Structure 1
Amino acid sequence: MDVSSLTAIDVHTHAEISKDGHASLSPELLGASAAYFKAHGHRQPTIEEMAAHYRERRMAAVVFTVDAEHATGHPRIPNEEIAESCAAHADVLVPFASIDPHKGRAGVREARRLVTEYGVRGFKFHPSLQGFSPDDRMAYPLYEAIEELGVPALFHTGQTGIGAGVPGGGGIRLKHSDPMLVDDVAVDFPELRIILAHPSFPWQDEALAVATHKPHVYIDLSGWSPKYFPPQLVRYANTLLKDKVLFGSDYPVITPDRWLADFAGLDIKPEVRPRILKDNAARLLGLLKD
């Protein structure tokens, strides 16, 4: 990947459909997410289409699914398929994997194999959807392996559109996505690179506290239009966290075009913009050496 030719690196995009047409979530949960983001009728692009979308814009994108088989009973899109499809478009796509922590030792073995044999560069967790608390010791062997492998772990934080409006929220418990629960992970795995995904409503201040206190905790800005960012998030992105905030869209429910258009109107210092849009992610992902 020629990082110097890129205008931005989007660290948060979703593979929503497999090559054989299998969706990443049940129709009920996908429909709730689409309604939450007012994205009814949006297409579920293939990874090949995602590559073309980002290549046209001279951007790179991190791609992942969510493995929540234990909590939802819905089979995931195979991590191997995502990794292989991204490898075919390595000029613009970076593969992350997702492993349900309930899979125990089998999940640990899979994580090691995905990094060493498939070139996976990070892991996505969605505690609310996966039905676990980030500080649950059940997940610790998986964190230990990810820390040893030297790749980041990205945690969904804050409210989620998945299950929104469905009776009982589709069984999804928001409490699992409090970023303070990830603080324990940052303490117990001090070399693990952690990304707190999204403006963490209603726990924005907690996310900022963790990211300023723990040297290897970052924040991505996906899932919200920048025009709705809380003022304290903008203030910290401009100052104390200028090297630890990352551009993410949440594509396909939010497009990079929409996100960047709204970001252009945000009061971000000119010298900070390239850090957020590309430089911070390039270093974190090992694409650009210090």
Structure 2
Amino acid sequence: MESARPNPSINYLVQNMNLSRREFSKSLLLAGLGTVAGQWPTRAARAAEPSIKAGTGFIDVHTHIGTYTDPKKNLTSEGLIEWMDENQIEKSCVLPLTSPESTKYLQTTESVLAAAKDHPDRLVPFCSVDPRTTHAGSVKALVGMIQGWVDQGAKGFGEHKVGLNFDDPLMMRVYEACQEVGIPLLFHIDTIRGKDVPGLKRLENALKTFPELNFIGHGPGWWASISGGLTPKELGGYPKDKVKPGGAIDDLMSRYPNIYGDLSAGSGANSISRDLEFGTEFLIRRQDRILFGTDYLAPGQNVPQFELFEKLELPAEVRAKINRENAIKLLKLT
């Protein structure tokens, strides 16, 4: 592993680089992240500079707080922020889990909003409600609930991880409500939650029905679909073979401007690491709609994204977009 190089000072950048204001700001971002040509900051580089300068760290679009499956591993908001500091993450989106299929221990929107209120400069709250909730049956009722949470600071809806077909009528009501409120929706797809078929035809139905809603893709079913030729079994797993032509993700991204990808979890890392050459080309090709994420949800959890991106050779401007710029634009962060 290559050791971290010293960061250039602001004076050096000003005196020796003929940059526009935007290019200068981006150079500062990359310097603050310890980035050198073709490389994301190493773990050693991140650990060596634990303090985060405003406007320089990663923005993680996918984390959780509370208990997921193991009651002995409860992640507090303070524990999340400590981990963020160790990994140069400036802000994290915190996602509730409100469907019985999503977790053993539900994580409410109210708990996420409270954590973000305590740490407004670090945590970005999302909101969520199971579409089968009795009092959220109509689109009007859903709009009222979601708008109330947005008024309290919620920037997105999710994690939408529900044991229904992706385009079930109850699910479509949620999408309609989010489109009306005007926030993006981060979803999970596999063969159990947000269920779809190879080719992601149910997702496509939602994309074309609600063109003003920005969807953010996550989960095994989404990321396995970077490859063509999937079997139903592979849609719910982590294929390790080389990517085959005809993947649904590229196809959908080429035809629908309202679909994004969240690189979090083992599924996100696997989609790139299974075929590094294709993965690198994919990230460059879809650089405007890929978001950095980890799905960090328990103390001591291994996060493969950092090690993976130390291996990848990507242009600096692509890294900057994935690291933070795309999230700032999509979530309207200031």
TM-score category (smaller protein): 0.7 to 0.9
Preserved contact between residue 116 and residue 123 of structure 2 (Cα < 8 Å): yes
Of 163, 166, 176, the residue aligned with 1:134 is: 166
Point out where structure 2 has 5 or more consecutive residues left out of the alignment. Answer: 1-51, 227-246
Identical-pair percentage: 28
Shift of the alpha carbon at 1:87? Answer: 2.0
Shift of the alpha carbon at 1:142? Answer: 2.0
Shift of the alpha carbon at 1:259? Answer: 2.0
In the alignment, what sits opposite 1:166? none
Which structure exhibits the higher relative contact order, with contacts defined as CA atoms closer than 8 Å and separated by 6 or more residues?
1
- For structure 1, which segment, 270-279 or 97-106, has the greater mean C-alpha deviation from structure 2 after superposition? 97-106
Cα distance in 2, alignment partners of residues 249 and 72 from structure 1:
17
Q: Is 1:207 matched up with 2:249?
A: yes
Q: Is 1:67 matched up with 2:98?
A: yes
Cα distance in 2, alignment partners of residues 72 and 222 from structure 1:
16
Shift of the alpha carbon at 1:255? Answer: 5.7
Letter in 1 for 2:177: A
Preserved contact between residue 246 and residue 281 of structure 1 (Cα < 8 Å): yes
Shift of the alpha carbon at 1:74? Answer: 5.9
Cα distance in 1, alignment partners of residues 72 and 280 from structure 2:
29
TM-score, normalised by the number of residues in structure 1:
0.75
Cα distance in 2, alignment partners of residues 154 and 174 from structure 1:
11
In the alignment, what sits opposite 2:84? 54
In the alignment, what sits opposite 2:148? 113
Cα distance in 1, alignment partners of residues 110 and 197 from structure 2:
27
Cα distance in 2, alignment partners of residues 82 and 214 from structure 1:
31
**Alignment map for 1:1-290 (pairs within 5 Å):** 5-15=55-65, 17=66, 23-24=67-68, 30=69, 43-56=73-86, 57-69=88-100, 76-103=106-133, 104-105=137-138, 107-116=142-151, 118-127=152-161, 130-158=162-190, 172=192, 175-176=195-196, 179-198=200-219, 200-204=222-226, 205-224=247-266, 225=269, 228-231=273-276, 232-239=278-285, 241-252=286-297, 258-287=304-333
In the alignment, what sits opposite 1:169? none
Cα distance in 1, alignment partners of residues 316 and 184 from structure 2:
27
SS at match of 1:91: coil
Shift of the alpha carbon at 1:75? Answer: 6.4
- Cα pair distance change 1:48/1:268, threshold 3 Å: same
- Cα pair distance change 1:229/1:12, threshold 3 Å: farther
- Cα pair distance change 1:177/1:150, threshold 3 Å: farther
Preserved contact between residue 180 and residue 210 of structure 1 (Cα < 8 Å): no
Shift of the alpha carbon at 1:235? Answer: 1.5
Preserved contact between residue 102 and residue 193 of structure 2 (Cα < 8 Å): no
Letter in 2 for 1:272: V
TM-score, normalised by the number of residues in structure 2:
0.66
- Cα pair distance change 1:73/1:120, threshold 3 Å: closer
Shift of the alpha carbon at 1:58? Answer: 4.4
CA RMSD across the alignment? 3.0
Cα distance in 2, alignment partners of residues 76 and 243 from structure 1:
33
Q: Which has the higher Rg, Structure 1 or Structure 2? A: 2
